[in-house]
Amino acid sequence: MPTRIRLQRHGKKNQPFYHIVVADGRVPRDGKFIEKLGTYNPLTNPATIELNVERAVYWIGTGAQPSETARRILSYKGVLLKHHLQVGVQKNAISQEQADVKFNEWLQAKEAKIANAKSENDNKERTVKKERLEAEKKHNETVAAAVEAKRKAAAEAEAAAKAEAEAAANAEEAPAAEETPAAE
């Protein structure tokens, strides 16, 4: 029975969520599986991966072949490194303590790298939001200035129209007043 470590798709349309499973290579992708090793959510940034490392090392050791994506996930979480170190322990090339120290050093470096990337991503998001806010403020100021200019132009036009109407009214009253004394 050729076993495979692969992803089993769950989640809604356009919202994938995967289970990392060990399954017989002959069963369908989302079919029957032997053991669930963890989960993978690619929608978060960085992707969320929960994995039982010990069981994954066991299955790699028994000959389970990971799919390409599963291999990347296992490598990212250190399963392949731990398996490599375990092979060295079995061949008496290194001791178990040395293997554990190497793995823990790698794990700490990896976690620091992930935390650094996460903080850089958060800083980038804050910078983008700040730039958008500043651009929106500038846009709002230009719109407000344009509205104010229109209001001033409308007020000036209204004042000019009133002045014209008053001048026309005054012009009509003045000749009428002049005509009355001439008639007498």
CA 136 → CA 26, 31, 122, 128, distances in Å? Answer: 56, 51, 21, 12
Q: Which amino acid is at 47?
A: A
The whole-number average pLDDT for the span 44-54 is: 92
Length of the chain: 184
Residues 54-113 pLDDT 10s: 999 999 999 999 999 999 999 999 999 999 999 999 999 999 999 999 999 999 999 999
Beta strands (DSSP E) in 54-148 are 65-66
Least confident of 7-16, 54-63, 129-138, 167-176: 167-176
Percent of the chain residues topping a pLDDT of 70: 93
Other residues' Cβ atoms within 10 Å of the Cβ of residue 59: 22
Other residues' Cβ atoms within 10 Å of the Cβ of residue 170: 9
Residues 122-165 pLDDT 10s: 999 999 999 999 999 999 999 999 999 999 999 988 888 888 88
- Please provide residue 20's backbone torsions phi and psi, each rounded to the nearest 5 degrees: -90, 115
Output the pLDDT for position 172.
76
Output the pLDDT for position 181.
57
Residues 65-75 pLDDT 10s: 999 999 999 99
pLDDT of 119 above 80: yes
Output the pLDDT for position 173.
73
How confident is residue 180, by pLDDT bands cut at 50, 70 and 90?
Answer: low
pLDDT of 178 above 80: no
Output the pLDDT for position 175.
58
Ordered by where they begin, the domains of the chain are: 3-68 (3.30.1320.10)
Collect all residues with Cβ–Cβ distance below 8 Å to 61 and sequence separation of at least 6: 83, 86
Return contacts of 132-140, CB within 8 angstroms, 24+ apart.
none
Model pTM?
0.69
**19 Rama class: left (phi>0) / alpha (psi -120 to 50) / beta:** beta
pLDDT of 176 above 70: no
